[in-house]
Copies of this chain bind each other. A is one copy, B any other.
Amino acid sequence: MAGSSIGTIFKLSTFGESHGPAIGGIIEGVPANVLLNVDEVQYELDRRKPGQSAIVTQRKESDSIQLLSGVFEGKTTGAPIGFVIKNEDQKSKDYNHIKNSYRPSHADFTYDKKYGNRDYRGGGRSSARETASWVVAGAIAKQVLNNLGIDIVAYVDQVGGVKLIGEIDYNEIDNNPVRCPNVAVAREMETLIKEIKKSGDTVGGSVKCEINHLPPGLGEPVFNKLHAELGRAMLSINAVKGFEYGSGFDAIEMRGSEHNDIFNPDGSTQTNHSGGIQGGISNGMPVTMRIAFKPVATILKEQDSINDKGDLIKLAGKGRHDPCVVPRAVPVVEAMAAITVLDFYLRNKSTQL
């Protein structure tokens, strides 16, 4: 109800603010007897963490995962996995200057209106620090999915006006700080982000995600369609403004005769405008989607704004923020895909006796 949970059988519930003692969560519905590699969980957290390269925020957080339950002698027990990640670099004084100010396009104003109070130290629950907990659940989901032969990959396909063109080499994704699967384009994107950063500004971007080897039959009809739940999951990520799957917005200008995916005798299709999903249910083809991110709202340039009395004020970001969110969003997108897909896999087990 209060918005802190995602999933039905495989389910993550989270708590925590960026400037409290810790963030964390509870993961329910992890199938019993799965060998769990905690190092792989930490590896995913490291892909998301601040300070990993020159083009991301320079905050210092080790983001060390601490598992508190649900794993015994190296294996999941079927009990909920509780975990915490301590907040280490909570320079709360960085935020004193905005104690009574509403930052433009942040959640300061809306949280204040909703709750009648505001944790002004870094946005409270609206901070993207929250996504670290999602990465933990996603990393665990990925391990279960990998056991089932399902894999998930995401990458940056646009930063500002720079689009991914040319060859895609999945092995390059984690070899460059942008997480773009084409070395030349990655360099171009990196250059753009550095320029933007120098100018005290920020820029948008987009991330593509593919889910491969998903068996047909996952997703529920009507209100829990596979793509609708993936959309909701992705739209939950901070700064996301749009979601499309398969042909997406390009479908608007297409004809049915060109959009329809003609079957091969084995049930696969010659094209994949459906993005691996028909009627909300996976068809065995790769699930493909694209997620649009806005430019980060915190900029170092001075801006007009108001305080909580409605007085006009001037504001400039003082913290250490990302000039472009997509490089660090890649593991978050993968995590949300993994959480969603594993849940549907488990839900599907009761469709037939």
Contacts and interface: CB of A to CB of B under 8 A. Distances in A.
A225 B347 CA distance: 20
A117 B310 contact: no
Contacts of A218: 114
16 contacts: A15-B26, A22-B69, A32-B115, A33-B353, A111-B221, A113-B284, A203-B255, A204-B253, A228-B231, A228-B233, A242-B248, A259-B294, A263-B305, A265-B310, A265-B312, A267-B310
Contact of A252 (B16, B251, B259, B293): B293
A141 B292 CA distance: 30
A105 B259 CA distance: 8
A81 interface: yes
Contact of A78 (B9, B28, B158, B352): B352
A221 B82 contact: no
A24 B82 contact: yes
Most-contacted residue by chain B among A217, A244, A252, A279 (CB, 10 A):
A252
Contacts of A28: 1-2, 4-5, 13
A280 B224 CA distance: 20
B305 A350 contact: no
Contacts of A274: 105
Given A79-B15, A116-B32, A350-B346, A248 B257 contact: no
Given A4-B223, A5-B13, A78-B117, 19 more contacts: A1-B29, A22-B82, A24-B82, A25-B26, A72-B117, A77-B117, A82-B84, A104-B260, A105-B261, A105-B273, A106-B279, A110-B278, A110-B282, A126-B221, A227-B235, A251-B295, A254-B294, A263-B304, A346-B350
A27 to B, nearest CB: 8
A230 to B, nearest CB: 8
A51 interface: no
Interface in A93-136: 102, 104-107, 109-111, 113-117, 119, 123-126, 130
A46 interface: no
Nearest to A29: B2
A201 interface: yes
Given A4-B80, A252-B160, A304-B262, A13 B26 contact: yes
A202 interface: yes
A224 to B, nearest CB: 4
Interface string A223-249: 111011101110110000111111111
A153 interface: no
Contacts of A116: 32-33, 352
Highest count of chain B CB atoms <10 Å: which of A116, A119, A235, A297: A235
B244 A292 contact: yes
Contacts of A219: 110, 114
A236 B225 contact: yes
A181 to B, nearest CB: 17
Contacts of A123: 279
A150 interface: no
A265 B31 contact: no
